[in-house]
Amino acid sequence: MIPPQPQNGQRAPLWQHELRKAFSRPLDLLAYLELDPTTAGLDAGSLRDFPLRVPRGFAARMRKGDAHDPLFLQVWPSAQERAATPGYVVDAVGDLQRVREAGLIHKYQGRVLLVATGACAVHCRYCFRRHFPYSEQLAARDRWSPALSDIAGDASIEEVILSGGDPLSLSDDKLAELVAALDAIPHLKRLRLHTRQPIVLPERIDERLLAWLDRTRLQTVFVLHANHAAELDEQVRTALLPLRQRGIMLLNQSVLLRGINDDAQTLARLSERLFACGILPYYLHLLDRVQGAAHFDLPEDEAQALMRVLSSRLPGYLLPKLVREVAGAPAKTWIAWERSAPSS
């Protein structure tokens, strides 16, 4: 989705300019990365199902000439996506079973998730909402009212999670309007944003965004999404500083991905780099079994073995919780693992 043009003669913010320049044609991305199309294995069928989208700043962190770069593999359409794999479905986490109003998903006690937009700055090939019917289940486009009324009428709800897509794909005017409406609901205490944009498009953290964050009375949490330390360059660290200075909590959730971060050394480096950027590791998700992403999955026992090694290398505050989301469960399902016995 191309961001809307600015209104009233205002100049479009830098992040929108950068988003318009994002790679959307695979051959352009390959040329930039100096990759041979035959080596990369472009699959047109996968593109029809889920188009390519990669900000240029994120592509700049990829290693040129390396078709196995861990950032490249997260965004590149593979023929493996079209393999029919039993158990991998369209609605992997049961979102559609828990919709209250258009775009309002209520899975867990005390909090609701608002699908604010279907747009993202980057299209990750393992995305659990890659098949989500955004045209039917979207709270934006002047349709906030039913969702807001539902939230206002349920005093058990204390936290609203803005998700998508990526909520920061919306303009700051639209976000300010939405957050002001949430502020006016007295029983709400917390606002959580699930966003990858500060990682892949750090220009998104600008004065306009900070202005509406400064106005909200709600305690605010950003749950970011980085899977590899190479995603967290100095520009990302610098962009996050104003959020930290405002006391906004920064957490990270990663997905365990075969061929990308499925070894203890890579995960340890990720946790250490996250902390250097002021972000606490929060969740390490086992892959949501969405149709088209089976080639990224790891067996649970391999994930448990990784956690045992990781626990011996990192302090507890840098150790993410290993979890799986199970459709219909009342919370994330923690995956148990036993620490390695100390050597004699």
Q: Is the pLDDT of residue 212 over 90?
A: yes
Residue found under tokens 């749950």: 223
CB 273 within 8 A of CB 229: yes
| Superfamily classification of domain 95-334 | Aldolase class I (3.20.20.70)
According to DSSP, the residues that pair with 159 across neighbouring strands are 111, 190
Inter-residue contact 238 to 205 (CB < 8 Å): no
pLDDT value of position 49: 75
Binding residues for [4Fe-4S] cluster: 120, 124, 127
Residue 149, strand partner residues: none
Residues 206, 234 contacting (CB under 8 angstroms) = no
Alpha-carbon distance of 226 to 253, in angstroms, equals 7
328 dihedral zone (left: phi>0; alpha: psi -120 to 50; beta): left
Least reliable range by pLDDT among 187-191, 241-245, 334-338:
334-338
pLDDT of res. 46: 67
pLDDT on residue 95:
65
- Model confidence at 260, pLDDT cuts 50, 70, 90, reads very high
Using CA atoms, how far apart are residues 304 and 193, in angstroms rounded to an integer? 28
pLDDT at 78 over 80: yes
* Confidence band of 1 (pLDDT split at 50, 70, 90): very low
The residues with which 23 forms a beta bridge, in sequence order, are 54
Question: Which among 209, 207, 208 has a CA at the least distance from the CA of 222?
Answer: 209
> CA 144 to CA 103: how far, in whole Å?
9
C-alpha closest to that of 223 among 199, 203, 189, 201: 199
Which of these ranges, 66-70, 122-126, 315-319, 327-331, has the smallest mean pLDDT?
327-331
Note the pLDDT tens digit of each residue in 320-332: 999 998 877 878 8
Q: Which residue has the tokens 């100390």?
A: 342
- Phi, psi angles (nearest 5°) of residue 71: -80, -40
38-47, 143-152, 277-286, 309-318: range with lowest mean pLDDT: 38-47
Distance between start and end Cα atoms, the chain: 58
- Cα-based distances in Å from 202 to 173, 197, 337: 19, 7, 35
The pLDDT-based confidence of 175 (bands split at 50, 70, 90) is very high
Closest CA to 21 of 58, 47, 49: 58
Measure the CA–CA gap between 241 and 222, rounded to whole angstroms: 13
- The lowest-confidence range among 57-61, 159-163, 186-190, 290-294 is 290-294
Of 133, 124, 42, which is closest to residue 292 (Cα–Cα)? 124
342 band by pLDDT with thresholds 50, 70 and 90 = very low
Mean pLDDT of 21-45: 86
Specify the pTM: 0.91
DSSP bridge partners of 284: 254, 322
- The domain limits of the chain are 14-81, 95-334
* Cβ–Cβ under 8 Å, residues 283 and 321: yes
The pLDDT, as a whole number, for residue 341 is: 47
Residue type, 128: F
- For position 205, what pLDDT does the model report? 98
79 and 50 Cβ atoms separated by less than 8 Å = no
HSE at residue 15, side-chain half, CA atoms within 13 A, is 22
Please report the DSSP string for 195-232 in residue order. -SHHHH-GGGS-HHHHHHHHH--SEEEEEE---SGGG-
3-state helix, strand, coil in the chain (%, to 5): 40, 15, 45
- 132 confidence band (pLDDT: 50, 70, 90): low
CA–CA separation, 180 and 148 (whole Å): 11
Question: What average pLDDT score do residues 252-263 get?
Answer: 97
pLDDT-based confidence at residue 4 (cuts at 50, 70, 90): very low
Residue bearing tokens 């090694």:
309
Q: Tell me the residue type at 264.
A: A
Q: Which residues are annotated as a binding site?
A: 120, 124, 127
CA distance 263 to 201: 26
> What are the angstrom distances between the C-alpha of 332 and each of 256, 257, 327, 338?
15, 18, 9, 19
Q: In which band, very low, low, confident or very high, does the pLDDT at 268 lie, cut at 50, 70 and 90?
A: very high
Least-confidence region, from 2-6, 72-76, 138-142, 297-301 = 2-6
